[in-house]
Chain A
């Protein structure tokens, strides 16, 4: 094992350089810069004979170091083994070009970036609309050929997105109910308006909080799962395999997901709202001495039934939005891991954002409905 060295013999008519040692990745570690400086020195410029016979090994790194030092060519007075020469000639494939320096941001770039963002948004929207259309087609096709209906997938998705979400939605609903009730009770007590806890909880949870809470949970839970599943199926070409077998991918993969979530969401909303109301009721009983009987008796009187329908409607809409967004992002995953993770993130974030947007639309559209007079 020899340390890579270069020494210059400046005597005589032919100034010579002698290279020795291991010019390899392992050997050059920590010595590369010093050697590069030596090779760029004035001595090296005057050298007319290069003796490489004492080199014990030369690999690609050694070869490119020498090649670059010689100005991208082999020097005339080169004296080396055939094996070493081969390595050096391999470096001849290198063009004179070096990697282009990274582009610096310029003025106006941010405007372009903004434009691109807008374009991407429009493209996503168009994709989503196309997917909705495809699902509609599939639904019509399913009505014409009922034997094509993906019933097993529907039932599996119903179980995955609905049934297995019951414990977590119940827990979160209950806790939010307790917190909401507890904090409201502190305020209401100071005004002596204890009874209104039932109005607040009833309207707030059934109409607003329940559906949004479920939507956020489901977007994180089932939406991400749908995107990841479809994404991996795209990466591994499973979707192509399905299509090749004559199974329409959207009918078999997307439609059951959308249908299952649309069916499951209102039920989950009902379940979570009930759980949150129960939590609120428990906290109200502890904090304000409002009995369960009185609470349950008053609730239907102060909360018009329309609120429940609005909650249901929101559940339907949110389910549709979450499933559509999740499937859209799943189907647009490009075949690499980075794209998969980016699209899963996008799916959840976009789903929750869309849900809030739809919720705002609901709030305005239903502002005259279901409010106690």
Chain B
């Protein structure tokens, strides 16, 4: 087995008096699509923010792609951040830049690619996320919700990351679009050989995309493993999460 893409050991997170994570351990192997699930306030998004280095945990060690996020070496930290891509829940596109400039932004930041190459790369990424070249000139405010997600995905993939992080990738999309987006992510993952970590509430997304599931609850990981393995666990939260959602998902 290859080295884990994300390795979390003894993570402690605290907001004031509110303890979010207490000695949380999680290891995500390379090449998997790992879904983080959990109730509201179980610290899923917090965990994701810590993994991408937006927040520093009070205690514990997080290694992404085998390296610490805050090594003290600015160049190394920056290089590490160029090796993973994040798709934010609302897309987080730069509203003052058009689609082309949004996707080109991380490429321009490398400062060694010329304009034509960047343009070509953006066009390839646009095609990858199934958008048309004419969409490149639209502003983020002119895009539909599904297109925002696609553009944000293209931007996250611009630097050819090894690891892709998705925060609620299908939230706010109707079932059709959500299914299309899920199959797009799956196709890209196969094509590009990505490891994927996603946070989701949606059981359809989960079952369609995830190869492994980690359940957050009670300030730690309640269960981790394949979907079947996790669903067999006897825990009130897991029962209600999968149990309540299953008939609804099946009834569609």
A→B interface (CB under 8 Å): 24-26, 29-30, 32, 59-61, 63-65, 68, 86, 90-91, 93-95, 98-99, 235, 334-339
Asked whether, in the complex, the Cβ of A64 is within 8 Å of the Cβ of B121, the reply is: yes
11 sample A-B contacts, Cβ–Cβ < 8 Å, listed by A number: A25-B160, A60-B125, A61-B160, A68-B120, A86-B191, A90-B128, A93-B127, A95-B133, A334-B141, A335-B95, A338-B95
User: Is B139 in contact with chain A by the CB < 8 A criterion?
Assistant: yes
CB–CB A29/B112 < 8 A? yes
Q: Which residues of B contact A64 (CB under 8 A)?
A: 117, 120-121, 124
B140 to chain A, nearest CB (A): 7
Q: In the complex, A338 Cα to B119 Cα: how many Å?
A: 23
Given A335-B141, A336-B141, A339-B96, verify A99-B116 contact (CB < 8 Å): yes
Selected from A65, A93, A336, the residue in CB contact (under 8 A) with B140 is A336
Please report the C-alpha to C-alpha distance between residue A338 and residue B98 in the assembled complex, in whole angstroms: 12
CA A93 – CA B128 in complex, angstroms?
10
Determine if B112 and A30 form an interchain contact, defined as CB atoms under 8 angstroms apart.
yes
How many angstroms between the C-alpha atoms of A60 and B113 in the bound complex?
Answer: 13
Main SS class of interface, B:
helix
**A337–B125 CB distance below 8 A:** no
- A236–chain B nearest beta-carbon distance, Å: 11
B51: Cβ under 8 A from any A Cβ: no
Chain A residues with Cβ under 8 A from B127's Cβ?
Answer: 90, 93
Q: How many A-B residue pairs have CB under 8 A?
A: 64
* Pair B123/A94 contact, Cβ less than 8 Å: yes
CA distance A26 to B162 in the complex (A): 11
Chain B nearest Cβ from A304, distance in angstroms: 53
Closest chain-A Cβ to B91's Cβ sits at a distance in Å of 13
A149 CB → nearest B CB, Å: 34
Count of B interface residues, CB-CB < 8 Å: 25
Please give, as numbers and ranges, the residues of chain A lying within 8 Å of B191 by CB-CB distance: 86
Contact B95 A337 (CB under 8 A): yes
A-facing residues in B141-156 (Cβ within 8 Å): 141
Contact yes or no, B96 A93, CB < 8 A: no
Residues of A within 8 A of B120 (CB): 64, 68, 91, 94
Q: Taking the nearest CB of chain A, how far is it from the CB of B58, in angstroms?
A: 32
Top 6 A-B residue pairs of the complex, sorted by shortest distance between their CB atoms = A338-B96, A336-B95, A335-B141, A93-B127, A64-B120, A99-B119
B159 CB-CB contact with A under 8 Å: yes
Q: Which B residues lie within 8 Å of A63 (CB)?
A: 124
Residues of B within 8 A of A32 (CB): 112-113, 117
Residues of B within 8 A of A94 (CB): 120, 123-124
**CB contact between B123 and one of A25, A61, A93 (< 8 Å): that residue:** A93
Chain A residues with CB under 8 Å of B116's CB are 98-99
Which residues of B, 67-99, contact A by the 8 Å Cβ criterion? 94-96
* A60 vs B120: C-alpha distance when bound (angstroms): 9
Give bound CA distance, A162 to B160, whole Å.
54
Query: Chain B residues with Cβ under 8 A from A95's Cβ?
Result: 123, 133
**From B95, B124, B125, B160, residue with most partner A Cβ within 10 Å:** B124
A sample of 20 more A-B contacts (CB under 8 A), given A60-B128, A60-B160, A65-B117, is A24-B160, A30-B112, A32-B112, A32-B113, A59-B160, A60-B121, A61-B113, A61-B121, A64-B117, A68-B120, A91-B124, A93-B124, A93-B133, A335-B141, A336-B96, A336-B139, A336-B141, A337-B95, A338-B96, A339-B96
Complex CA distance for A59 and B159, rounded to whole angstroms: 10
CA distance A61 to B116 in the complex (A): 11
What is the bound-complex CA distance between A251 and B191, given in angstroms? 55
